Structure formats: C-alpha cells, structure tokens
Amino acid sequence: MIAVATELADAHGINGLTLRAVARRAGQPLAAAQHAFGSRDRLVAALVQHLLAHRPTSPRRESPVERLARLAEQEWQVYQAHPWLVGVLASTRPPLVPAVLDLAGASIEALVMLGLSPATALRRYLALNAYIQGMALLLQAEQREAAASVATYRSWWAEEIRRLDRTGSRRQHPWLGEVTAGTPPEAFDVDVAFRDGLHRVLTGLTDDTRGG
C-alpha cells in the first residue's frame, strides 16, 4: 500500500491522500488500510520513512563538509522526485520517523566534527535545512503552477517581459533588463539554482570552523 500511497501523492498532492483513497486504489477494503496504518497521520509518517530511508551509504573517506553536501544532495533528489514531501517536512513538527532523525543526526554529527557545540550544530543544521526546503518549495510551486495553467513557463515569461516593458519596469530596474534579455527559458531550472547556492550556503555555515 505504500507504493500506492506514493503514486497517489505524486499525482494529486498530499492533501488529497486518505486511507480510503489508498484502499480504493489498491483494491482493498478500507479496513485493510486502517489495520495497516491506523490513521492518516501514520500513513504520511510511513511515506516519509519509506522515501527517506533508502539512501546510498557514505564513502569511506569523506570530510564533514563533503558529508553535509552529500546529505543535502540526497534530500534534494527526494524532493525532486516527490515535491509534495517538502510540505510535510518543512514544519516545526515534522514526522520524527527514524529516517528523519538519521538524516538530521548525520548532519549534526558532521557539524560537531568541525568543532561546533551540539547546540550550535543544531542551529546550523536548521539553517542548512531551511535552504534545502526553501528551494524545494519552488519545485512544489512550479509543479502546482504547471498543473493549473495552460500556458508554458516560456509563454508566461514572454508575456511578463512584455508587461514589464509596457510599465517601464525594465528601464527603471537595470538588473531586470539583464536577466530577461534573450529568449525566455523553456522552464525554471530550480536544480541549477539549488546547486549554485548550496556550496555558498555550506561555506557560510562552516567557514568559522576552519583554520582554528
């Protein structure tokens, strides 16, 4: 049923996921889903565990910063495959399943290895996680916009450029003219933006731990 629940969430988002919907798609009675999960919250927690638990093992030789980058990339890849997941985890009260605790623990341990106290490491981890999840919210937003709009990203952007020209905004803000020059992109590449910022975020969060 986990596979069925994942398919439903991927197709319709997490808000429409119910035990009844999972049972119906799986061809099972509602009682079977209730017996397997007990409640919708436990179903969602089981999904989180399933999606985050299967990660590649770490290399034998890996610096703390390399570990942080690897873990961030792995979490990002899960969000790329399942954008709705960030809506579950970007919370002060996420499901604290083993996979979530393992991911947080591995990151905090890496920061402690750099010389930070556990309390400071936790704060730095939360800042890093906020970056990852903030970028993932753009994945979720683009998925939602693409499903709701008949216009492609390129046609939307081209119309916006025309509007900015009519209002004079591109003349008033020179940077707008620079970033909107040329042919509009086919899609908003969140992946490029994520990787461009990740190294800089990691450098900022760990720079004061280097060189004594």
- Angstrom distance (rounded) from CA 160 to CA 166: 10
Task: Please tell me the distance from the alpha carbon of residue 75 to that of residue 132, in angstroms, as a whole number.
Answer: 8
Measure the CA–CA gap between 65 and 47, rounded to whole angstroms: 29
Question: Which of 113-127, 135-149, 151-165 shows the highest mean pLDDT?
Answer: 113-127
CB atoms within 10 A of CB 211: 5
pLDDT in the model for residue 57: 64
100-112 pLDDT, tens digit per residue, is 999 999 999 999 9
Residue carrying structure tokens 């099972």: 28
**pLDDT for residue 79 is more than 70:** yes
> How does pLDDT run across 2-43, given as a tens digit for each residue?
999 999 999 888 888 999 999 999 999 999 999 999 999 999
For the segment 126-155, the average pLDDT, to the nearest whole number, is: 85
More confident residue, 47 or 173: 47
Taking 90 as the threshold, does the pLDDT of residue 197 lie above it?
yes
Q: In degrees to the nearest 10, what's the CA dihedral of 198, 93, 49, 75? A: 0
CA 78 vs. chain centroid, Å, equals 7
Residue 212: pLDDT over 50: no
Percentage of the chain surpassing pLDDT 70?
94
pLDDT of residue 186: 74
Distances (CA, A) of 172 to 160, 163, 164, 165, 168: 15, 13, 10, 10, 6
Asked if residue 168 has pLDDT above 70, the reply is yes
Q: How far is it, in rounded angstroms, from Cα 76 to Cα 59?
A: 19
Which of 79, 81, 70, 80 has its CA nearest to residue 106?
70
Does pLDDT of 60 surpass 80? no
Mean pLDDT of all residues in 169-188: 78
**CA dist., res. 30 & res. 15, Å (int):** 18
Band of pLDDT at residue 143, cut at 50, 70 and 90 = confident
CA geometry: angle 56, 36, 3, nearest 5 deg: 45
For every residue of 42-111, DSSP letters joined together read HHHHHHHHHHHH--PPPPSS--HHHHHHHHHHHHHHHHHH-TTHHHHHSSSS----HHHHHHHHHHHHHH
pLDDT for res 210: 57
Provide the whole-model pTM: 0.82
The answer to whether the CB of 132 falls within 8 A of the CB of 75 is yes
Q: Is the pLDDT of residue 55 over 70?
A: no
Share above pLDDT 90 across residues of the chain, in percent, rounded to a whole number: 58
